[in-house]
Structure 1
Amino acid sequence: MHRPGNEVLVVTNENAAQYCFTCAVNLDRFQYEYDCFLKCLRDCGTEPVLIGEVLKDDTEAQSYIAKRPNVLYTRDLAAMVGTGIVLMGMQAKCRKWDQWLVRRVAEKLDMPVHCEIGPDGILEGGGVEFITDRAFVAGFCDRSNEIAFEKMKKSLLGKQVDELVVVMLPEGTIHIDGHFLPIDKNLVIANKSYLNQYPCVIYREDAKPRYTWFVEYLEQKGLDIIDITFEEGCNCAANYIQVGPRKLVGYEGNDRVEKEIRKRGGTVITFPGKELIKGRGGPHCMTCPLDRAKNEE
């Protein structure tokens, strides 16, 4: 994770679109809401690892971060797959090359890197999800390409994962994590109609690709689906961070979805996000889990 600092002041109302923000933000309020998020995570027993702290003595990294307001959205930079990290390939110029910071963190923490999707492959961490620890979903969206999927197949199939599911998403979709979120081994939040507009393809090692529909694939696996609308997805209803089975932390304001989660025995812990949402990211976007196993216990 990365606690936002003065770098977010780079964003003005005039250049906000260049940084994928909706407008300039109030730094004090932005940091207050982020600190509320950190407190929620710590209260749940989760240990936030902050880039700024790990790399506090790295002058090159600190100088770089000082003008990169999107670094707080660490999810896009990498994914923990099996025993190591996959460094993603960033599409937007406001994110391009940022993943080197995670490589530097991995070196500090002595964590292996399985592969690097860039520079020719494009796939961001918000574009991937785990259904199980061996079944991996990638969204074929505006910020991805087939080179990235081929790299994932070559590096991970049969080694770190058994199954890679590529879900083709409608034009204009940035990431799948605004529309699909597993929250337990047999429960997901999903916009069913949105995810089922186009077919998906399932890859397994030493097997022919299988073409099907993603919702049917989920149902065949016996997954319960909490269906959400497009509007709810835009309000981060599928952008919680899972801190345990059916235990989620997210923005305030998704009362219906929270009720559905609680009906199924889940817990939802919320915090204010009216200022943070101006960066067009939610709690899921602001985290890059380094130890997924703890969330599945």
Structure 2
Amino acid sequence: MVGKIESILIKKPEQAFISQENLNNTWEEFKYFGCPDYEKVLEEYAVFEKYIKENVENVYYLPQDDRTGLDSIYTHDPLKITQKGAIYFPMGKALRSKEYLATKAYLESIGVPTLGEIKAPGKMEGGDVLWIDEKTVAIGRGYRTNDEGIRQFKELTKDIIDEYIIVPMPHGEGEDACLHLMSIISFVDTDKAVVYSKFMPVFFREYLLEKGFTLIEADDDEYDYLGTNLLALEPGKVILIKGCPKVEKKLKDLGLTVMTYEGKELSYRGTGGPTCLTCPITRL
């Protein structure tokens, strides 16, 4: 989760949000926190994209597709990429149920192999799958990822994963809220993670501490503003949404490099932070 990103998949607002008119017509059904301002989205994304292009050698852009909607700007969730190829997910949010088909078609066109798909009634989303190391994966079991999805994921990865840690997710703000395992933890260095412990099961928090991780705590306000959703470009170098000064200071005090972008329209309204906006294809 923190190795230097060598290649990455992102999607521009022009291909996901499309226009102010489209946002006006669809933001409520996607349950956004207000209608994004399209021009401000473009400005915010330009800064975010600049960080990506300056730090990642190969940047791929997901094209517009009629099977997708606003949330397709958050390229992380329809899949997870493993050593043997991509596993695609029919996501728990009905409006995103065909998104993986568009991502699969594009990634296969650039040579990314497919390992498999999670089939209904299985459900899984990329934000619930957290690599602890190459042989260990934690999976959030909540409203977006169910037992059958986890069973199928285990079957597909049994030759490459030694340990699966199933993490029960809380009810949180309800079934319609976007609460993933990666909503409450982001690895930012080989031995550091930003966390929201209030939503973290005790056994998992203790597991991370026993593994030697330093846990950097976000408070309620900064958690609500995506302060636990960071993208590690490489160990100790991260992107964070602007507006979380306490988390930012804690990271800098530990010697990390932190780049921030205005993300109220791009990220906060759709609850998709820097991790959600990206799908790393390869890390070194």
Question: Would the TM-score normalized by the shorter structure come out above 0.5?
Answer: yes
**Cα contact 2:236–2:257 (8 A) shared by 1:** yes
**Cα contact 2:186–2:231 (8 A) shared by 1:** no
Q: Does 1:222 align with 2:212?
A: yes
Instruction: Name the structure 2 match of 1:2.
Output: 11
**Cα contact 2:188–2:235 (8 A) shared by 1:** yes
Structure 1, unaligned stretches of length 5 or more?
53-60, 198-212
**Cα contact 2:184–2:228 (8 A) shared by 1:** yes
Instruction: Name the structure 2 match of 1:78.
Output: 79
What does the per-residue CA deviation read over 1:20-40, in whole Å, with 9 as the maximum and x for residues that have no partner? Answer: 312222212111211211001
Q: Does 1:282 align with 2:282?
A: no
**Cα contact 2:67–2:102 (8 A) shared by 1:** no
Structure 2, unaligned stretches of length 5 or more?
1-9
> Equivalent residue of 2:98, what SS?
coil
What does the per-residue CA deviation read over 1:94-122, in whole Å, with 9 as the maximum and x for residues that have no partner? Answer: 21111011110221112111121133211
Counterpart selection for 1:18 from 12, 19, 29: 29
- Distance between the aligned counterparts of 1:100 and 1:136, measured in 2? 24
- Distance between the aligned counterparts of 1:229 and 1:266, measured in 2? 19
Q: Which amino acid aligns with 1:249?
A: I
Note the 1:81-230 alignment, pairs <5 A: 81-157=82-158, 159-171=159-171, 172=174, 174-196=179-201, 213-230=203-220
- Distance between the aligned counterparts of 1:243 and 1:102, measured in 2? 22
Shift of 1:185: 2.0
- Distance between the aligned counterparts of 1:47 and 1:239, measured in 2? 23
Counterpart selection for 1:246 from 224, 229, 236: 236
Shift of 1:225: 0.9
Q: Does 1:38 align with 2:72?
A: no
| Higher deviation after alignment, 21-30 or 214-223 | 21-30
> Equivalent residue of 1:170, what SS?
coil
Gap change, CA 1:191 and 1:120, over 3 Å in 2: same
Q: Which runs of 4+ in 1 moved over 6 A?
A: none
Bigger relative contact order (CA 8 A; separation at least 6): 2
- Distance between the aligned counterparts of 2:122 and 2:229, measured in 1? 24
Gap change, CA 1:63 and 1:153, over 3 Å in 2: closer
Kindly tell me the number of residue pairs found equivalent between the two proteins.
266
What does the per-residue CA deviation read over 1:100-155, in whole Å, with 9 as the maximum and x for residues that have no partner? Answer: 11110221112111121133211111112112222211111221110011011111
Q: Which amino acid aligns with 1:129?
A: L
Gap change, CA 1:144 and 1:17, over 3 Å in 2: farther
**Cα contact 1:11–1:25 (8 A) shared by 2:** yes
The TM-score with structure 2 as length reference comes to 0.87
Instruction: Name the structure 1 match of 2:249.
Output: 259
Counterpart selection for 2:260 from 262, 270, 285: 270
What does the per-residue CA deviation read over 1:161-218, in whole Å, with 9 as the maximum and x for residues that have no partner? Answer: 2221111011136212221111222111112232026xxxxxxxxxxxxxxx101111
- Distance between the aligned counterparts of 1:139 and 1:106, measured in 2? 25
Shift of 1:73: 0.8
- Distance between the aligned counterparts of 1:89 and 1:153, measured in 2? 16
- Distance between the aligned counterparts of 1:93 and 1:163, measured in 2? 30
Q: What is the CA RMSD across the aligned residues, in angstroms?
A: 1.8
**Cα contact 2:67–2:98 (8 A) shared by 1:** no
Counterpart selection for 2:61 from 50, 56, 69: 50
The TM-score with structure 1 as length reference comes to 0.84
Q: Which amino acid aligns with 1:271?
A: Y
Shift of 1:46: 4.7
What does the per-residue CA deviation read over 1:47-94, in whole Å, with 9 as the maximum and x for residues that have no partner? Answer: 321012xxxxxxxx64445xx121101111111122311111211122
Shift of 1:289: 0.8
